[in-house]
Amino acid sequence: MVQSNRRPSSDRYDTVIAGAGPAGIMAAREAAARGTVLLVEASRLPRNKSCGGMLHEHTQEFITPFGPVPDDIVLEPRHVDFRYHDWDRRIAKPTSVRFLNVDRPGFDRWLLGALPDDVELVEGCPLDAFAQDERGVRAILRVDGEPLGIVCENLVGADGARSMIRRALGIGSVATYVTLQDWLCLDGKLEPYFDCIYMRGVGDSFAYGYVVPKGDRAIVGSVFYPRTRRPHQKHDQVVRILRNALPQLGPRVDREAWVALSVRSRTDVVPGEGRVLLAGEAGGFMSPTSGEGISYALRSGALAGRAVAVSSPDEALGVFAASSMPLQRDIRRKLRWLPVMESEFGKYLGGMTPTSIVSAMTKGL
Q: How confident is the model at residue 174 (pLDDT cuts 50, 70, 90)?
A: confident
Query: Is the pLDDT reported for residue 1 higher than 70?
Result: no
Stronger pLDDT, 47 or 205, i.e. the higher one: 205
User: What letters, b where the CB count within 10 A reaches 16 and e where it falls short, cover 70-89?
Assistant: eeebbbebeebbbbbbbbee
pLDDT digits (tens, 9 = 90+) for 60-94: 999 999 999 999 999 999 999 999 999 999 999 99
Report yes or no: 180 and 256 within 8 Å, Cβ to Cβ. yes
Specify the DSSP element, H or E, that contains 342. Answer: helix 325-342
Looking at residue 2, what is its pLDDT? 73
Looking at residue 269, what is its pLDDT? 95
Q: How confident is the model at residue 173 (pLDDT cuts 50, 70, 90)?
A: low
Question: Across the strands, what pairs with 197?
Answer: 85, 209
| Dist. CA 42–CA 364, nearest whole Å | 34
By three-state DSSP, how is residue 309 classified?
helix
pLDDT digits (tens, 9 = 90+) for 304-333: 999 999 999 999 999 999 999 999 999 999
Q: What is the mean pLDDT of the chain?
A: 93
Helix axes 294-310, 316-323, angle to 10 degrees: 140
What strand order describes the sheet that includes 176-186? 54-55, 91-102, 74-86, 193-198, 206-214, 217-224, 176-186, 249-261
User: What letters, b where the CB count within 10 A reaches 16 and e where it falls short, cover 127-166?
Assistant: beebebeeebbbbebbbeeeebebebbbbbbbbbbebbbb
CA-nearest of 139, 164, 144 to 275 is: 139
The ranges assigned to domains in the chain are 4-48+107-174+267-337, 56-103+176-262+339-363
Fold of 4-48+107-174+267-337: FAD/NAD(P)-binding domain (3.50.50)
By three-state DSSP, how is residue 190 classified?
coil
Looking at residue 342, what is its pLDDT? 84
Query: Is the pLDDT reported for residue 287 higher than 80?
Result: yes
In terms of phi and psi (left: phi > 0; alpha: psi -120 to 50; beta: otherwise), the region of 212 is: beta
Looking at residue 49, what is its pLDDT? 74
Looking at residue 171, what is its pLDDT? 85
Which of the four CATH numbers 2.60.40, 3.30.9, 1.10.520, 3.40.50 does domain 56-103+176-262+339-363 have? 3.30.9
pLDDT digits (tens, 9 = 90+) for 88-120: 999 999 999 999 999 999 999 999 999 999 999
pLDDT digits (tens, 9 = 90+) for 332-354: 999 998 888 888 887 777 788 88
Report yes or no: 327 and 295 within 8 Å, Cβ to Cβ. no
CA-nearest of 238, 263, 278 to 176 is: 263
pLDDT digits (tens, 9 = 90+) for 26-69: 999 999 999 999 999 999 887 777 788 899 999 999 999 999 99
User: Which one-letter DSSP state was computed for residue 262?
Assistant: -
Question: Across the strands, what pairs with 142?
Answer: 147
